[in-house]
Chain A
Amino acid sequence: MKEKRGRFFFDDYSLEEVPSVERYGLYNLFLTLSAAFGAIAVLFAGGVLGGGLNFIDSTIAVLTGGTTVLAIIGALSSAIGAYSGLSTYVGWRFPFGRAGGKILGFALITLTTGIGWFAVESWFFGVVMSEIYPNNPFFSVWAAALWGGALMILSTYIGYRALSFLSYFILPQHVWLVAVGLLLAISLHGGWGAVLTAVPKSHMTLTEAITDTVGLYIAGSLIAPDITRFAKRAKDAVIAWVLHMYVFYPFLILGAVAIVLLTGGVIITEDMLKLGMGVGVLLIIVLGQWIINTVNLYSGSLSFTNAVPIRRDISSIIVGIIGTLLAAYWGYTAGASLAPFESFISLLGSLLPAAGGSVFAEFYIVRRYFDGIKDPYQRFKLEPGKEYSEVNLVGILSFAAGALAGFFVPGIAAINAILVAFFVHIILAYVFKKAHVKYEFGKYVYRGGVVR
């Protein structure tokens, strides 16, 4: 196995801080974040939005819910990744303890993003392929899910280098293809006036639309450290995130809304095919889903490695095979049902944000003001030979409170969960510290990040 500087080449510093020589600049981060979390998922979300809202309401929903809220949340978590250089789940060892971080990482990311989302996207890949090439066994839902999943596992095995490569190639291409699709739709269906007056096929409230746009991207916002740990500076990570939320995300989602409103379909790729974009649509589907699923599996493999001590490249194969088989099974039994996709959005929308709230509270408030660690580079720093706790009760309790709020408090579930977990974490930490009650249990000695 190829090694570099004493580490396995494809492990991507899964359990340790990314060294400064292995970090990337603003341009790389902007492209990687945009391509990794945006791309085709945003296009499909735009399709759903355009099916229920007119263009003005969609713009309001995207610019308030989608862009502003997600820009703030993503910027906060991106900065944590760049400062610590740790993956999201290794960073979770601080607010939840090592055992807490392992369990939550496995439950919220390996099972949902790594296996669930990966399977849903692979299945979706199969669905779209079978629609483009009906009656071809190689492009049947289950068969396309199988070979598509294998392709995605391969790039995830390589890691961040493959993500960078795919991003450089895919992102500008997506922008160009969507821009052409949008201009074609406008030219052929009555101009900008028709976009503004077009009536959607069904009805969706503004709150539902904001919940959907936030829910779609919230997981990406909270696991952004998986990418931004490779940032040279925290400033680069934050600028890259905010820039992609304000430039790339609205362009793609509103472009898709306009195309769907004008052409009358809900599945954006079908509409682009109707416009005569041919191979261009195929490029969007194949490359877009390839990169987004590479990120899903990449995060899944990082969280799996955090939970089970095996190399990240090996865990990407294990998690990927499970997800691909699941996708093929759905394709074989359920056909073209969208139900699994929607149920996954609901689940993530209420559980993962709670963890994010606790992480923000620990990094920005507890470590900074209660523990007096002013230097952000030191707040989530793992030093070999030093002792850390196995369980952080405050983190676990605040996560539980946030998750319950996400389920039961009316409004935008993801935001409720983040805010409740954030404040409960701060209050509990303050009370426990004031009362001199111990809330961190168990000890382990961090021995560096080498897993062989």
Chain B
Amino acid sequence: MNFFYRLSLYFFAIQLVFSIILLGALPFNSNIYAMYHTLAISLFMLLTAAMGIYFSWKGQGSRIIADAWLVISIVTAYIAIDVSPFFNSPMKPLELALTSIVTVIWIVDLYLAWRMKLPILKL
């Protein structure tokens, strides 16, 4: 397994753990909108992490990159909505921290893929 696939595998594993933590934090949300929103993002992260682990294991580079783009796009939308008063909740700082880390690791992953001459725009 080459460096990029191994690194992506680690990143997806981190995302998987984060999504489980977010699922665990669900009952601590103070309002129903925040809870549903957290449920949606944690399930999305769980699903894309599982897909990513499979793609990394199988060495499917372009699918890893497509998955990374998808995660970055959705997670940044989630973070953007989080500033709304509708989503005020005691668990939000933790959720924002985890989703921000996820965003950063996939930007790093795409940057490394680009440095390794992998076609990050040609899906």
Q: Taking beta carbons and an 8 Å cutoff, which residues of A are in contact with B?
A: 24-25, 27-28, 31, 161, 164-165, 168-173, 176-177, 180, 183-184, 187, 275-280, 282-283
Contact = CB atoms under 8 A, between A and B. Distances in A.
Given A170-B73, A172-B74, A280 B84 contact: yes
B121 interface: yes
B74 A176 contact: yes
4 nearest CB pairs, A to B: A172-B73, A168-B69, A173-B77, A176-B77
Contacts of A180: 37, 77, 81
Contact of A161 (B37, B80, B84, B121): B121
Contacts of B80: 177, 278-280, 282-283
A165 B114 CA distance: 13
B115 interface: no
Given A28-B122, A177-B77, A276 B72 contact: no
Contact of A28 (B72, B73, B76, B123): B123
Contacts of A25: 122-123
Per DSSP, chain A at the interface is: helix
B77 A184 contact: no
A173 B84 contact: no
A183 B74 CA distance: 16
Contacts of B85: 276
Interface in B33-72: 33, 36-37, 66, 69-70, 72
Contacts of A276: 84-86
Given A168-B73, A170-B73, A177 B81 contact: yes
Given A278-B81, A280-B81, A24 B122 contact: yes
Interface residues of B, number: 22
B21 interface: no
A161 B123 CA distance: 11
Nearest to A281: B80
Interface string B5-38: 0000000000000000000000000001100110
B73 A169 contact: yes
A180 B74 CA distance: 12
Interface string B64-104: 00100110111011101101111000000000000000000
B49 to A, nearest CB: 16
Contacts of A275: 86
Contacts of B83: 278-279
Nearest to A273: B84
B70 A172 contact: yes
18 contacts: A24-B122, A27-B123, A168-B121, A169-B69, A169-B72, A170-B73, A172-B74, A176-B77, A177-B77, A180-B37, A183-B36, A276-B85, A276-B86, A278-B83, A279-B81, A280-B80, A280-B84, A282-B80
Given A176-B74, A276-B85, A279-B83, 4 more contacts: A168-B70, A277-B84, A278-B80, A282-B80
Contact of B73 (A24, A173, A184, A278): A173
A173 B86 contact: no
Contacts of A172: 69-70, 73-74, 77
Contacts of B121: 161, 164-165, 168
A173 B77 CA distance: 5
B57 to A, nearest CB: 20
A180 B77 CA distance: 10
A28 B62 CA distance: 11
Of residues B36, B69, B81, B85, which shows the largest number of chain A Cβ atoms within 10 Å of its Cβ?
Answer: B81
B81 A277 contact: yes
Nearest to A177: B77
Of residues A161, A170, A276, A282, which shows the largest number of chain B Cβ atoms within 10 Å of its Cβ?
Answer: A276
A167 to B, nearest CB: 9
Contacts of B76: 169, 173, 283
A320 B63 CA distance: 35
B73 A171 contact: yes
A299 to B, nearest CB: 20
A392 B69 CA distance: 46
A275 B37 CA distance: 14
Nearest to A169: B73
Nearest to B73: A172
A177 B78 CA distance: 8
Contacts of B74: 172-173, 176
Contacts of A283: 76-77, 80
B78 A187 contact: no
Nearest to A180: B81
Contacts of B33: 184, 187
B69 to A, nearest CB: 4
A269 to B, nearest CB: 14
Nearest to B122: A24
Of residues A25, A176, A278, A282, which shows the largest number of chain B Cβ atoms within 10 Å of its Cβ?
Answer: A176
Contacts of A27: 66, 123
A283 B74 CA distance: 12
Contacts of A184: 33, 86
A278 B82 CA distance: 9
A183 to B, nearest CB: 7
